[in-house]
Amino acid sequence: MTDLKTSPLATNVVHRGDCITVLKGLPDASVDMVFADPPYNLQLGGDLLRPDNSVVDAVDDDWDKFDSFAAYDAFTRAWLTECRRVLKPEGSLWVIGSYHNIFRLGSAMQDLGFWVLNDIIWRKTNPMPNFKGTRFTNAHETLIWAARSREQKRYTFNYDAMKAFNEDVQMRSDWTLALCTGEERIKGEDGKKAHPTQKPEALLHRVIMAASRPGDVILDPFFGTGTTGAAAKRLGRHYVGIERDETYAKVAETRIAAVIPAAPEDLKVMGSKRAEVKVPFGALVEAGLLAPGDRLYSPKGDREARVRADGSLVSGEFTGSIHKLGALLENAPACNGWTYWRFKTDQGFKSIDALRSEIRATM
């Protein structure tokens, strides 16, 4: 076997093996960017049933199981340490995680000397709901982008490209993107998903476009089915992947071989400026445009309701959202509460939709 550490770095390869072991064999200061999607250390209980009684296909693979936070932290520090060594002086590192592990990752990075440049929120357009109604819908994941050290003055950030991409306003730290589903999601011969946590290529597209240059080498120590490699090749970058599961590694190689480096504009990406923001009625109460106790009236003035602090309405014995209560009082199957309800002003009645416009104007 060739000594990877003293040979020039081979690129566009998928190394088989434990990521820390393989990393230790790579030469110092040889890659321009690292993208890492490590195990999240989910600590799940028993089966979770949907309301239709079907079972949620959970991530219960062995590779995601750790005995303790201490064990997870030790693993995290080990691979981060090697990544830092392998990075060029002007390189940068990205990690992605959820609330289960992102605090561990961020702290370890800071402890090892990495200097955080941004944390980025991936807002999912179509997240899995909270089936039991016990928490907020977990609708995002977090990425951390960091330089090797505080002293590092130079790193690649294609500011103007990002700005142009985002309709000529600065790219923000929250990105709205869909999950990887449909055609993009790689399936095995059995029709099941080849990997439980395949990331959308649009996400990697944006990361790579933002923080690397054509010809750069991008290392992914948790290669999986090779989203990083596919995006890198498509965008004219080189990749180095590490994956210990032979099945995943093979899928990745096949996938990347089929990628034609191409003009990237056919990748579906939603700019955060255009990302539509829904204004819930409750936001009017939060913002103080309506107060708890204020009265709303129907178009004919024959119905009246009182606003509550949670944004619901009360009318007699009935309660509900602006839409539900409108439908209920009109005995209609549905009702657009925004155009139905009015409030009193000095100039007479006004639609609550006007208040929504006020809120939208600030967005």
Residues 121-160 that bind a copy of itself (CB under 8 A): 121, 123, 125-127, 129-130, 133-140, 142, 144-145, 150, 157-160
- Write the binding mask 25 to 64 for a copy of itself: x where contact by CB under 8 A, - elsewhere: ------------------x-----x---x--------x--
AA letter at 201 = E
- As measured in angstroms, the least distance from the Cβ of 20 to a copy of itself is 21
Please spell the DSSP secondary structure of 282-293, one letter per residue.
HHHHHTTSS-TT
Contact 19, 222 (CB under 8 A): yes
Contact 169, 185 (CB under 8 A): no
- Closest CB to a copy of itself among residues 24, 65: 65
Of 159, 261, 273, nearest in space to 210 by CA: 159
- As measured in angstroms, the least distance from the Cβ of 132 to DNA is 3
Instruction: Pick what 162 binds: a copy of itself, DNA, none; C-beta below 5 to 8 Å, kind-dependent.
Output: a copy of itself
Instruction: Pick what 139 binds: a copy of itself, DNA, none; C-beta below 5 to 8 Å, kind-dependent.
Output: a copy of itself
- Closest CB to a copy of itself among residues 29, 44: 44
Residues 6+ apart with CB under 8 A from 197: 37, 59, 224
Contact 113, 58 (CB under 8 A): no
Residues 6+ apart with CB under 8 A from 57: 196
- As measured in angstroms, the least distance from the Cβ of 119 to DNA is 9
Count other C-beta atoms under 10 Å from residue 28's C-beta.
Answer: 9
Q: By CB under 8 A, what part of segment 206-245 binds a copy of itself?
A: 206, 209-210, 235
Q: Which residue has the tokens 């990697």?
A: 204
What's the rounded Cα separation, in Å, for the pair 26 and 5? 4
- As measured in angstroms, the least distance from the Cβ of 3 to DNA is 31
Q: Which residue has the tokens 């809120």?
A: 359
Hey, is 154 helix, strand or coil? coil
Contact 112, 167 (CB under 8 A): no
Instruction: Pick what 209 binds: a copy of itself, DNA, none; C-beta below 5 to 8 Å, kind-dependent.
Output: a copy of itself
- Closest CB to a copy of itself among residues 2, 362: 362
- As measured in angstroms, the least distance from the Cβ of 188 to DNA is 11
Task: Check residue 259 for interaction with a copy of itself (CB under 8 A).
Answer: no
Task: Check residue 201 for interaction with a copy of itself (CB under 8 A).
Answer: yes
What's the rounded Cα separation, in Å, for the pair 162 and 172? 9
- As measured in angstroms, the least distance from the Cβ of 266 to a copy of itself is 4
- Closest CB to a copy of itself among residues 18, 286: 286
